Amino acid sequence: MLRYQKHRSYVNLPMLLRVVGWLLMIESLFMVIPLIVAIINPDESFLPFLICIGITGASGGLMTLMKLRSRDMGKREAILLTGFTWVVLSLFGMLPFMLYGTHMSVTDAFFETMSGFTTTGASVLPSLSGVPKSILVWRCVTQWIGGLGIILFTLAVVPMLNTSGGMMLFNAEVTGITHDKLRPRVSYTAKGLWGVYAILTVLLIVLLSFSKMDFYDAFCYGLSTMSTGGFSTDNGGIHDLNSIYVKVVMIIFMFLGGVNFSLIYNTALCKTKGLLKNTALKVYIWFILAGAAIFSLDIIIGSEDVSAIDVTIDPLFQSISLLSSTGLVEPDFHTWGSVSVVLLIIMMLVGACAGSTSGGAKIDRFVILFKFLKNEFYKMMHPGAVTTVSFNGKGTATSVVNKALAFLFMYIIIIVAGGVALSLMGMSLSDGFFCSLMAISNTGLGSEATGVNGDFSLVAPLGKWLLSFIMLVGRLEIFTILLLFTHSFWKK
């Protein structure tokens, strides 16, 4: 098999299309959820969703009938399939937005769908009032699908990929600097991670159902919170509920969404050894607490009349929401002071732990960066010293360190390039940089151009396509997408 991969000069396109076909049929099954919502609500029409299900399912079914020259999948196929899949599922996933309720243009519908699948949470809808519940449910479903990864879900439900480049597909999509399998077969690993993800989501929905929310809101917020996506069901969001219980529950699950799911899986099996030694998790917790403390001080200094909730629950909620890239913002955040705004940008950039549903560059890489810099300063004073970057209680390979540093360098380049490009499309330079950071970190906050909780309908059409691309690059962690634009990738 290895020899065959080495000498094969073509891309196994039929195999790629067959896998995408399976994914489209799975996507059509997920569309049944908003279809049921439309059927239950007498004011809504279920016909558009039937059409979308038919188009998506039939297209997927035709792709699975492709005749295969070989089932073999190499590294090129894995990388190409990952990027191709997210785009194709977004193209079919945007059909409900175009055919029903919102009747969006192709540009707006693709932006909304890509924002959902990448768990960014940015929206072109100026208001959620009057938007059919089935459409709002579909937005949250797309976030939940994309939270842990479309390809990872495929590996869990399509067993044939276990021996057809499954590990390469796993590595191409799952976030992080290293990828460790939990089980010998990659399909078992995918099932384990998705099992944890699904159980936590169900638990969150049940807990939210005990609040002032009805089941519809609990279901939507359960999907968008566990995926750290942040889509809401109304303009006021959870803040209109004025419920401490809801905020505390969401704090817990937003935090879990930012934790490496491999750690959660192992902890559930009472394997806590790795949990206690995980450097990123420790930094993640300290970062949350430090952020909440700074937010609290900023509120106390900048406000005259504050309550205990204002300086405890709200700052902690905001700290976890930003660091996990959920992007739910307190309605009075703009009054918290300039220090809070600076911290907001830092948290968007850093993100939570690798292997989680969160966005950002990931804490793991920044830990490696600062330990690398510490070693470099030490070697300036001790040129003969041999140093290593310690991570999770053991040394890190030079190749891993180099890859982490290269990732952070490319991350900044994309933010700058995106910001400059958006400014050329009519945005101010500061808004352009902020929106570019928002997109690549998959956080979904608006800038002054859209309002903190505003929509992105004011962005130029070309800007929306650019932001959609940056969102995809950020979700698939840069290299998986940018490799497609290199000559060496296509070279025989």
Question: What tens digit of pLDDT does each residue of 157-167 get?
Answer: 665 565 555 55
Rounded Cα distance, 141 and 357, in Å:
14
Percent of the chain with pLDDT over 70: 88
Residue of 94 and 190 predicted with greater confidence: 94
Give the DSSP per-residue string, 214-241. Answer: -HHHHHHHHHHHHTT----SSTTGGGGG
In 3D space, the residue among 117, 118, 268, 116 whose CA is nearest the CA of residue 200 turns out to be 268
CA dihedral 124, 130, 132, 135 (to 10 degrees): 10
- Among left, alpha and beta (phi > 0; psi -120 to 50; other), residue 442 is left
* pLDDT, average across residues 213-233: 92
In 3D space, the residue among 85, 144, 90 whose CA is nearest the CA of residue 112 turns out to be 90
Q: Pick the range with the lowest mean pLDDT from 5-9, 23-27, 182-186, 237-241.
A: 5-9
Confidence of residue 310 (pLDDT cuts 50, 70, 90): confident
Two tokens, residue 62? 């035709």
Provide the pLDDT for residue 395.
Answer: 84
Two tokens, residue 378? 């030490």
> Which element (helix H / strand E) includes 390?
strand 390-391
> Are 360 and 228 contacting, i.e. CB atoms less than 8 angstroms apart?
no
42-77 confidence digits (pLDDT tens) = 888 899 999 999 999 999 999 988 877 777 777 777
> Are 172 and 64 contacting, i.e. CB atoms less than 8 angstroms apart?
no
Confidence of residue 171 (pLDDT cuts 50, 70, 90): low
Provide the pLDDT for residue 447.
Answer: 55
In 3D space, the residue among 117, 175, 186, 229 whose CA is nearest the CA of residue 480 turns out to be 175
Q: Is the pLDDT of residue 182 over 60?
A: no
Q: Is the pLDDT of residue 5 over 50?
A: no
> Are 265 and 148 contacting, i.e. CB atoms less than 8 angstroms apart?
no
Whole-prediction pTM: 0.90
In 3D space, the residue among 19, 144, 151, 27 whose CA is nearest the CA of residue 96 turns out to be 27
Confidence of residue 322 (pLDDT cuts 50, 70, 90): very high
Q: Is the pLDDT of residue 292 over 70?
A: yes
Largest CA distance in the chain: 76
Provide the pLDDT for residue 172.
Answer: 58
**Secondary structure class of 260 (helix, strand, coil):** coil
* pLDDT, average across residues 355-366: 90
